Structure formats: structure tokens, C-alpha cells
């Protein structure tokens, strides 16, 4: 036999043996990888269940909030003192006017004092929004119900002033009131 044939056969046998041994030793890694995959699959399933539970709770909360909001808005719509959609900022008003301003205080309107304010309250005009939606003619009718002493007053600018107060346009209102003479242009 020739030695040249024997060397490739021995190298082939050694390679086969090494390949077998290496393959067998890496099968332990495969078991670790498959156990890791199984672990991650279980964690994923648990997270998906948690997500479903959270979505269910969110849906319930949204339903409750919608029901509560519709109930609240229905209630607010039926009451005469419905909350204003514009938020009153007392600090901003105080900064501009230099004094504490109460929400819906009709005396903030140039030309309206405490007695005229009370007269408007008696006619269900109790807020800036209500006064801003009242026509000048209606304001004059309310003044006329107070008697002769109120004929001197001119309510021509009162609804516009009240609208500015309701909308929180404090600087514009103050600047305009500085120009007005007891509520008259």
C-alpha cells in the first residue's frame, strides 16, 4: 500500500471525528438557546396578557369618564349657573387692574356700580358672559326699571366690556376703560 493514500484517509478520519465531537458539544448550547427561547415566549405571552388587561381597564375608564362628562355637561346645561368655558385668571386680572378682581363682578365694567350691578342681578344678568350677550336696548330696559336716578347712565359699551372681561382680555379692557368716561365713549 502506498503511504500517499493512507495520509488523506487518516486526515479524513480525524476531521470526521473532530466534527462529530464539536457537533456533540454544541448541542448543549442548542438546549440553552431553546430554553431561552421558551423563557422569552412565556414572558411575551405574560406581557400580552397584561396589555390586554390594561386595554380593558382603559376602555372601562374611558366609558366611565364619557358617562360622567355627559352627565356633568347635561347637569351644567340645565342649571342657570353653568360653568364658563373660558377659565378665569384672577392673577392676570390683578396684574392689569392693580386690585383683586372677582370672577363675574359686574362692577368691573366701567359705568356699573354696586347698585346697578344689583339691578342686573335682579334681572338674572349675573355674569360677564350674560352681560356680554345682553343687547344695549335690554340693558337700558333694566336700567329703566330702577327709576329716574338711572336715566343718567349709558350702557352702550357695557356688553363689549363684559365680553372682554369674560374672554380674559384684561389689558385691552383696561386700556379701553382708561379712554371711557363713566362707561361712555
Instruction: Kindly report the three-state secondary structure assignment for every residue of the chain.
Output: CCHHHHHHHHHHHHHHHHHHHHHHHHHHHHHHHHHHHHHHHHHHHHHHHHHHHHHHHHHHHHHHHHHHHHHHHHHHHHCCCCCCCCCCCHHHHHHHHCCCCCCCCHHHCCCCCHHHHHHHHHCCCCCHHHHHCCCHHHHHHHHHCCCHHHCCCCCCCHHHHHHHHHHCCHHHHHHHHHHCECCEC
pLDDT, average across residues 10-28: 83
pLDDT (tens digit, 9 = 90+) per residue, 34-77?
Answer: 788 888 888 888 999 888 888 888 888 888 777 766 655 555 45
pLDDT (tens digit, 9 = 90+) per residue, 102-134?
Answer: 999 999 999 899 999 999 999 999 999 999 999
Helix or strand run (H / E) with residue 175: helix 170-179
Helix or strand run (H / E) with residue 165: helix 158-167
Residue listed under C-alpha cell 362628562: 69
How confident is residue 159, by pLDDT bands cut at 50, 70 and 90? Answer: very high
The answer to whether the predicted template modeling score (pTM) of the entire model surpasses 0.75 is no
Please tell me the distance from the alpha carbon of residue 2 to that of residue 61, in angstroms, as a whole number: 88
Q: In this predicted structure, what is the pLDDT of residue 82? A: 42
User: Which residue would you say has higher pLDDT here, 181 or 131?
Assistant: 131
Answer whether 133's CB lies under 8 Å from 56's CB.
no
Q: In this predicted structure, what is the pLDDT of residue 26? A: 65
Q: In this predicted structure, what is the pLDDT of residue 100? A: 92
Q: In this predicted structure, what is the pLDDT of residue 16? A: 93
The mean of the pLDDT values for the chain is 83
Q: In this predicted structure, what is the pLDDT of residue 116? A: 94
Please tell me the distance from the alpha carbon of residue 4 to that of residue 123, in angstroms, as a whole number: 122
Provide the grid cell at 39.
423563557
How confident is residue 163, by pLDDT bands cut at 50, 70 and 90? Answer: very high
Amino acid at each position: 500500500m502506498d503511504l500517499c493514500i493512507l495520509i488523506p484517509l487518516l486526515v479524513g478520519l480525524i476531521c470526521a471525528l473532530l466534527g462529530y465531537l464539536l457537533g456533540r458539544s454544541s448541542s448543549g448550547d442548542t438546549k440553552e438557546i431553546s430554553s431561552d427561547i421558551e423563557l422569552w415566549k412565556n414572558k411575551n405571552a405574560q406581557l400580552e396578557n397584561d396589555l390586554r388587561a390594561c386595554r380593558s381597564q382603559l376602555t372601562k375608564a374611558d366609558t366611565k369618564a364619557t358617562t360622567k362628562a355627559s352627565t356633568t355637561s347635561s347637569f351644567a346645561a340645565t342649571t342657570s349657573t353653568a360653568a364658563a368655558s373660558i377659565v378665569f385668571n384672577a392673577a392676570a386680572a390683578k396684574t392689569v387692574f392693580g386690585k383683586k378682581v372677582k370672577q363675574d363682578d359686574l362692577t368691573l365694567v366701567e359705568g356699573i356700580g354696586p347698585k346697578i350691578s344689583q339691578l342686573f342681578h335682579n334681572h338674572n344678568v349675573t355674569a360677564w358672559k350674560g352681560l356680554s350677550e345682553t343687547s344695549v336696548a335690554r340693558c337700558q330696559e333694566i336700567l329703566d326699571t330702577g327709576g329716574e336716578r338711572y336715566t343718567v347712565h349709558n350702557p352702550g359699551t357695557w356688553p363689549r366690556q363684559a365680553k372682554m372681561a369674560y374672554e380674559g382680555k384684561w389689558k385691552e379692557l383696561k386700556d379701553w376703560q382708561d379712554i371711557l368716561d363713566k362707561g361712555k365713549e
